[in-house]
Amino acid sequence: MSKDILSLISSKMNTFSKGQKLIANYILSSYDKAAFMTASKLGKTVHVSESTVVRFASELKYDGYPAMQKALQEMIRNKLTSIQRIEVTNDIIGNQDVVSTVMQSDMEKIRLTMEEIDRDSFQAAVDAIVNAKKIYILGTRSSGSLAGFMSFYFGLMFDNVVHVGESANQEIFDQIVQVGHGDVTIGLSFPRYSRRTVRAINFAHERGSKVIAITDSASNSMAKAADYVLLAKSDMASFVDSLVAPLSLINSLLVAIARSKSDVVDHFERLEHIWEEYGVFVSMEEENQ
């Protein structure tokens, strides 16, 4: 459905029944909360039956209430302020156990990511990375932690990795100015999407680099510039971004790449000798002292 759901509701307001108008007005005024309510809770909030809420979704030509709810969530995820996110999460959790609620949600995000990931795109991304002339890994704000994790392990397997990070001394474009044909640029961004990441990914694309987008939606600006899109479910836990599923996807990429590189075992054997020689890790003897 191409039309913005709020605009759609506004345009059909005169056709709604009295109960449907109550639902419509609540969504228009409190869409940040309505998007995360069940049909039953939304009905109770505006004092109509659950069946009226379901019929309202059908009136908007959605295939059931979950489809309408998904449309609302996708519309607002990049618009909610930190304060709104805190308020919405408090409403969702209510009096439930916080640990169980958040961890169950994270588990569900991993399950959905596993079921929906495009295996062909995943393998194509692995092949592109293994054969790249240079690998740029780019993520800012909360996605910067994912980029740093990815860059650390890529650095153990490749000698051509550039971790493009936020720096007070260096602009992002300064770090990717040499990107071009034969290179692979991996962009990581989740709501609220970073403008700097999107612009940098578009720059890499225009310069001829292959682009891999690790994100939550194939329709966002970064994904549209990508050759390969790897989708991972993300959600908000209060003002905190839930990045468990993206991290699990990155772990899968690392394992697949290691299996595809013929020299990875020899490379790690050399590293182990160096780590032992220079005492990088605490030894078992030291642990037992």
Task: Encode pLDDT of 40-51 as tens digits.
Answer: 999 999 999 999
| Helix boundaries (H) for the chain | 5-11, 18-29, 31-34, 39-46, 50-59, 65-76, 82-93, 98-116, 119-130, 143-157, 172-175, 195-206, 221-224, 244-260, 264-277, 284-288
| The pLDDT of residue 90 | 62
What is the set of domains in the chain, with CATH numbers?
5-76 (1.10.10.10), 110-277 (3.40.50.10490)
| The pLDDT of residue 89 | 62
CA separation for the pair 264, 118 (Å, rounded): 26
Query: Which residues lie below 8 Å from residue 189, measured CB to CB, with a gap of 6+?
Result: 139, 140, 143, 197, 198, 213, 215, 220, 222
State how far the alpha carbon of 203 is from the alpha carbons of 110, 183, 213, in Å: 31, 13, 14
- Euclidean distance between the first and the last CA atom of the chain, given in angstroms as a whole number: 66
Read off the amino acid at residue 204.
A
pTM of the complete model:
0.68
Q: What is the tens place of the pLDDT at every residue in 242-289? A: 789 999 999 999 999 998 887 777 777 777 777 777 777 776 776 666
Residues of the chain where predicted confidence (pLDDT) is lower than 50: 1-2, 168, 237-239
| The pLDDT of residue 267 | 73
| The pLDDT of residue 169 | 54
Task: For residue 281, give the DSSP letter.
Answer: S
| The pLDDT of residue 20 | 93
Render the burial of 93-125: b for 16+ CB within 10 Å, e for the rest: beeeeeeeebeebbeebbeebeeebeeebbebb
- Residue among 237, 251, 73, 280 nearest 149 (CA): 251
